[in-house]
Every structure is written in C-alpha cells, then in structure tokens.
Structure 1
Amino acid sequence: MRVDLSDPLLYRDSDPEPVWSRLRAEHPVYRNERANGEHFWAVMTHGLCTDMLTDPRVFSSQNGMRLDSDPQVLAAAAGKMLNITDPPRHDKIRKVVSSAFTPRMVSRLEATMRETAAKAIDEALAAGECEFTRVAQKLPVSVICDMLGVAPADWDFMVERTRFAWSSTALDEAEEARKVRAHTEILLHFQDLAAERRREPKDDLMSALVCGEIDGAPLTDQEILYNCDALVSGGNETTRHATVGGLLALIDNPDQWHRLRDEPALMPSAIQEIVRYTSPVMHALRTATEDVEFGGERISAGDHVVAWLPSANRDEKVFDDPDRFDIEREPNRHLGFIQGNHYCIGSSLAKLELTVMFEELLARVEVAELAGQVRRLRSNLLWGFDSLPVKFVPRA
C-alpha cells in the first residue's frame, strides 16, 4: 500500500479512516515517501505511539514536533519553546508556565468561558443559521487571551489573526505570505504586552513568563514569545476543531444528544469521547537520536518518526467499535492530549472549555441540524473543519 499521509488533500477530499485502518493492520510503522523525495516513519497503532511518545531519550522533540516546519525557525526555537524542548530544560519551562494556573485565574477563566459561550450561542440562535466554525472559535481565543492578559478590546483582533495564521496548508506563495503576516502581527502584539507586564505585572500568564526564571536567569524575549505562540496555537485551533467535530458527532447521533441532555452526569465521559473521536491534532513528530529497531522496522538516527494520533485513537485493539461515537465509553485511553512529558499542559483547561460550550448548547438548543455542506480543512496537522453550517432550534 502506497499513500502519502502528509498530503493535505487526503483529509479535505476523502475519508482517511480506511487508510489508517489498513496501515494499522499491514504497516504499523509505515515508511512514508513524499513527493519531494524525503521520507518519515508514520506510527499508526496506539501501543507504538504510546511507546514512542513516552521515550524522549530515543525520540526527541528538539528538532520539531510537526511536519513541514521551517528549519531556521526550529533552530532558533529549540530549547526555548516548550513544544520543541527535551528534558531537563523542558520541565523547567513547563514549571514556569504552569505557575500561572492559580485557582484565582481558573475561576476567572471559567466565568469568561460561560459569558463568551452563552453570548455566541444566543447570537447564533437569533440568526437562525450560523457558520459554527466561527461560533466555536470565539471561546478558545477568548480564554487564551484572558489567560495571557490580552485586553478584551483586542480579542476580536486575535480571533481574526489566529484564523489566518493556523488555518489550512497554504496553496501558494500569496496565501503563505498572508499566514506569515498574521503570525507576525500576533507576535508583535505579544511583544508589546510583555513590555507592559515588565512595567506592571498582573495576575496573568504573561506576567508569569516575564517574571519567571530558569536556573536563576529570567526568560529571554525569544523564550517568552515562542511560548506565547505555542500556547495560542495549541489552545486555540485544537479546542475549536474538537468543538466543531463534537457538535457534528452529536448531530449525526441524535440519541447521544438527547442522552447527554437528560443525563448531565455523562458530560465528563462525553468530553473525553469528543476528544478521542475528533482527534484534532493529526500528528506529533519526533526525531530518532540513535539507530533503533521499532515496530519491526529499522529506523536510523536523524529520521523523523511521527505518531498519527487519529489512527491510534481508532485502534481496534484498544477501543471497542472505535468508529462508533459513544459518550459512555469507558475506559477511554485516547492520545488526544499526547502522552509522556509533552502531555498537553492545557488539557484540563481544554476539557473545561468543551464542557462549558456543550453545557451551554444543551441548555439553549433543542435541535441542531446541518444547514449546508460540511467541509474539512486542507491540512496534514489539524484534522478539522473549514465549514459547518448549522441551524439551531431553541429550547422552549
């Protein structure tokens, strides 16, 4: 079987699940040849993905965590950005970032979530029909902005810029230039915010970063900006696409919608199932630090080895009837938040965001129906949605 898992059109124009299923059975560690002559090893099963992601000594993050990253950016960010740093420095950066997640901040963030989700859903109900990808993007961006300390007046700016910066894979140079420009504007905004917090720290993540120290030295400007960048990309796009995919799964399975509305105690397991079923982060890249035998294949030092997360989350050996959306699924050992030392630092926040959004939806919406064609993203990183037009019928 020959297929290029890195081709973004595979995910926009077709159903990749049969491809993943066949590779799990025939090539659990698959040598993926690319059109440019390069190759990487795609890891397709749950067990092998777990083994790889929990062994940073052999499978390093230092050379990037995604396909098609700019080598110059990677060289500059390695050891500075949480995502592309190995222990022990990774653990020290993580400690600085985690220090901002105080009970007071979490309480404030939840209040913001409730207000933002309720307003977005009420506006959609008033309109009758809506583009749900736009509704879903408002909550995660508002949360990450609130957490970092971005002023509410600038949240709409961040919503629009993030939509361009981390959307689909660029088709041409003009589109790539637009993405780079949006990304640059985000970083410049954070640069200004960092300068403000140095003068006047507050109870937010930016203040924790500018006041934080590693081995007695403050974080550099680069470290601060790189980690803001990672938090925005990780906290925004993944939660947004999980929200959209979760609503689509509930539309496709109305019995699950009604069950969840009637039994709110099922919400925690429903959120875990939404993360597993939607698997918005498609892959997690590592680099082999030595020659190694892995999954029956001989991998050379320097080779890219890539965990294909949606495939792992549909592994028949781990999940009964894995293609079924089941809000009561237990156990649910999905890899939607990665594994090992790079386990998603915002996983609790993401689950809270999803909980708030679906609680507010179920409280306000009697029925959700498709109102047009569903379109997937043209991306090999995000298994997400470009469009989900829906019609909401309000609860009486």
Structure 2
Amino acid sequence: MTIDLSDPLLYQTSDPEPVWARLRAEQPVYRNERANGEFFWAVMTHRLCTDVLTDPRVFSSENGMRLDSDPRVLAAAAGRMLNVTDPPRHDRIRKVVSSAFTPRTVDRLEATMRRTAARAIEEAVAEGGCEFTRVAQTLPVSVICDLMGVPEADWEFMVDRTRFAWSSTALDAAEEARKVQAHTEILCYFQELAEERRKQPRDDLLSALVCGEIDGVPLTEQEVFYNCDALISGGNETTRHATVGGLLALARDPEQWRMLRADPGLMPSAIQEIIRYTSPVMHSLRTAREDVELGGRPVRAGDHVVVWLPSANRDEEVFADPERFDIERSPNRHLGFIVGNHYCIGSALARLELTVLFQELTRRVRTIEVTGPVRRLRSNLLWGFDSLPVAFVPSLDNH
C-alpha cells in the first residue's frame, strides 16, 4: 500500500477512514514517503500512539509538533513555546499558563459562553438556518479572547484574523503571504496589549504571561508572544471543528439527537464522543532522540514520528464499532486531547464550550437538516470543515 498521509487533498476530497483502517491492520507504523523525497513514520494504532506521546525522553517535541512547520520559526520557538518544549522547561511554562485558570476566571468565561452561544443560536433559529461554520467560530474565539484579556470590542478582529492565520493549507504564495500577514497582525496586537498589562495587570492569561517567572526569571517578550499565538490557535480551531463535526453527526443520526434532547444526563458522554468522532487535530509530530524499535520498525535518531490521532480514535482494539457515532459510548479512552505531558491545557475549557453550545442547541432546536454540500478543509493538520449549511426547526418548548 502506497499512500501519502500528508497530502491535504486526501482529507478534502475523499474518505480517509478506510485508509487508516487498512494501515492499522497491515502497517501500524507506516513509512510515509513524500513527494519532496522526505519521509516520516506514521503511527496508526491507539497503543502505539500512546507509547509515543507518553515518552518525551525518546520522542521530542522541540523539532516541531506538526508537519511542514517553518524551520526558522521552530528554531526561534523551541524551548520558548509550550507546544515545542520538552520537560523540564515545558512543565514550568505550563505552570505559568495554568495559573490563569482561576475559579473566578472560569466563572467569567462560562458567563461569556452562555451569552455568546445563546445569541448566536437564537439568531440562526430566527433566520431558519445558517452557515454553521460561522456560528461555530463565534464561541471559541470569544472565550479565548476573554481568557487572554482581549476587550470585547476587538473580538471580531480576532475572529477575522484567526480565520486567515490558521486557514487550510495555502494553495499559492499569495495565500501563504496572507496567512503570514494575519499572524503578524495578531502578534502586533498582543505586543500592544502586553505593554498595557505590564503597567496594569488584570485577572487574565496575558497578565499571567507578562508577569510570569521561571526559576525567578521573567518570561521574555518572545516567550509571551509565541505562547499567545499557540493558545489562540489551540483555543480556536480545534473546538470550532469539533462543534461543526458534532452537529453534522447528530444531523445525520436523528435518533441520537432525539436522545440527547430527551436526556440532558447524556451530555457528558456525548461531548466525549464528539471529540473522539471528530478528532479535529489529525496529527502530532515527534522527533526520535535515539535509535528505537517502534511497532517492529527500526526508527533512527532524528527520524520524524507522527501519531495519527483520528486513526487511533477509531482503533478496533479499543473502541467497539468505532465508526459509529454513539453518544452513550463508555468507556471512551480517546486521544482527542493528546495524552502525556502535552495533554491539552485547555481541555476542560473545550469540554465546557462544547457542553454549553450543545445545551443551548438542544433547548432551542427540534430538528436539524443539512441543506447543502458539506465541504471539508484542505489540510493535513485539521480534520475539519469549510462549510456546513443547515436549517433549524425551533423547539416548541424553547426555554
């Protein structure tokens, strides 16, 4: 079997699930040759993905966590950005970031979520339908902006810029330039806001970063901005695509939607199933520090090892009937938030966002109908959506 898992067209124009299933069965550690002559080891099973993700001593993050990263950016960010830092420094940066998640902040964020989700869904219901990808983007951006300390007047700017900055794989040089420009505008914005927070700290994540110290040494300006960039992207794109994919799964299985509306107690397991089933982050890259055998394959020091998360989340050895969307699934040991030292720092926040949004939907919407073509992203990183047009029939007992 010869397939390039890094080809973004595979995820935009075809169904990758049979490819993943065959590789799990035949080549669970697959030598993936690329058109440019490079290769990486693609890890396809739940057990082997877990082995890689939980062993930072052998599998390092400091050479990047995604395919096709800019080597110049990686060289500057390694050891400074949470995503591309190994222990022990990773743990110290994580502690600074985690300090912002105070009970008061979480309460404020939940209030933001309720207000934003209710308004967006009420508007969509009143209009009879919507392009749901646009509805889905409003909640995560508002929440991460609120967490970071971005004033509400600037949230729309961040929605617009993040949509460009973390869009699907660039088709040409002009599109790549637009993405770079969007990143630059985001970083310039945070540079100005950071100056304000240094003078007058508040109860937000940006203040935690600019006032944070590691071993008595303040974070550098680079460390502040790199981690702002990573947190904005992590807090925005993944939750948005899980929301869209979750709604699509429920629209395609009306009985599951009926069950969820009838029994609010199913919401926690439904959210976990949405995360497993949608698996918005497709891959996470590591670099071998030493020669090692993985799944019977000889991995050499310096080789790139890439765990394929949606494949792990459909592993027949772990999940019964894995291609079925089942809101009652239990247990559900998915890897949607990674595992190990890079376990998603915002996982609780993401679950809360999804819970709030789907609670507001079940209260207000009786039935969901897909009204046009569903378009997938052209990306090898995000297994997500460019378009999901839907019509909503309002609930008779809307409350």
Letter in 1 for 2:198: R
Matches for 1:131-210 after TM superposition, within 5 Å: 131-210=131-210
CA distance in 1, matches of 2:52, 2:81: 21
Query: Deviations for 1:294-318, whole angstroms, at most 9, x for unmatched residues?
Result: 1110011000000000000000000
CA separation in 1, counterparts of 2:249 and 2:188? 38
CA displacement 1:157-189 (0-9 Å, x = unmatched): 000111111011000001111111111111111
State how far apart, in whole Å, the 1-side matches of 2:184 and 2:14 are.
Answer: 33
Deviations 1:75-118 (A, max 9, x none): 00000000000000000000000000000000000000000000
Aligned to 1:36: 36
1:79 matched residue in structure 2 = 79
Measure, in 1, the Cα distance between the counterparts of 2:126 and 2:220.
47
- Quote the Cα distance in structure 1 between the aligned partners of 2:392 and 2:161: 27
Partner of 1:130: 130
What's the counterpart of residue 306 of structure 1?
A: 306
Cα distance between partner residues in 2 of 1:62 and 1:202: 31
Task: Report the Cα distance in structure 2 between the residues aligned to 1:169 and 1:120, rounded to whole angstroms.
Answer: 28
Using the TM superposition, give the Cα deviation of residue 123 of structure 1 relative to its aligned residue in structure 2, in angstroms: 1.1
Q: Distance in 1 between matches of 2:144 and 2:38?
A: 36
Counterpart secondary structure, 1:40: strand
* 1:116 partnered with 2:116: yes
Partner letter of residue 264 of structure 1? P
C-alpha separation between the residues in 1 aligned to 2:323 and 2:38?
32
Cα displacement (A) at 1:254: 0.7
Q: Which residue of 1 aligns with 2:285?
A: 285
* 1:232 Cα deviation from its structure 2 partner: 0.7
For the pair 1:257 / 2:257, whether they are aligned, the reply is yes
- Report how far residue 376 of structure 1 moved: 0.2
1:238 corresponds to 2:238 = yes
Alignment-mate amino acid for residue 111 of structure 1? A
Corresponding position of 1:101: 101
Q: How far off is 1:126 after superposition?
A: 1.8
Aligned letter for 1:60? S
Task: Please state how far the C-alpha of 1:128 moved relative to its aligned partner.
Answer: 1.6
C-alpha offsets along residues 276-328 of structure 1, whole Å, 9 cap, x if unaligned? 00000000000000011111100110000000000000000000000000001
Structure 2: stretches of 5+ with no match in the other structure: none
CA distance, structure 2, for counterparts of residue 361 and residue 77 of structure 1:
39
User: Partners of 1:71 and 1:346 in 2: how far apart?
Assistant: 26
Cα separation, 2, equivalents of 1:189 and 1:259: 44
TM-score, normalised to structure 2, is 0.99
Task: Give 5+ residue unaligned stretches, structure 1.
Answer: none
The question of 1:350 aligning with 2:346 is answered no
| Separation in 1, partners of 2:193, 2:372 | 40
Match of 1:248 in 2: 248
Aligned counterparts of 2:112 and 2:168: Cα–Cα separation in 1? 28
Secondary structure (helix, strand or coil) at the match of 1:373 reads coil
- Aligned equivalent of 1:228: 228
Instruction: Tell me the CA shift for residue 395 of structure 1.
Output: 1.0
- SS in structure 1 of the partner of residue 381 of structure 2: coil
Instruction: Give the letter aligned to residue 98 of structure 2.
Output: S
SS of the residue aligned with 1:329? coil
Look up the SS of the partner of 2:341 in the other structure.
helix
* SS of the residue 1:63 aligns to: coil
Q: In structure 1, how many angstroms separate the alpha carbons of the residues matched to 2:120 and 2:220?
A: 37
1:344 Cα shift? 0.2
Counterpart CA distance in 2 for 1:269 and 1:207 is 35
Q: Percent identity?
A: 79
Partner of 1:213: 213
Aligned to 1:339: 339
Deviation at 1:129, TM superposition (A): 2.1
Structure 1 residue 371 displacement after superposition: 1.0
Letter in 1 for 2:25: A
* C-alpha distance in 2 between matches for 1:21 and 1:295: 16
Deviations 1:161-218 (A, max 9, x none): 1111101100000111111111111111111111110010000000111111001000
Mapped partners of 1:363, 1:117: distance in 2: 12
TM-score normalized by the length of structure 1? 1.00
CA displacement 1:127-150 (0-9 Å, x = unmatched): 222100000000000000000000
Runs of 4+ in structure 1 over 4 Å off: none
| CA–CA separation in structure 2 for the residues paired with 1:214 and 1:371 | 52
Residue 223 of structure 1 aligns to a residue whose secondary structure is: helix
Letter of the 2:153 counterpart: A
Q: How far, CA to CA, are the matches of 1:191 and 1:279 in structure 2? A: 33
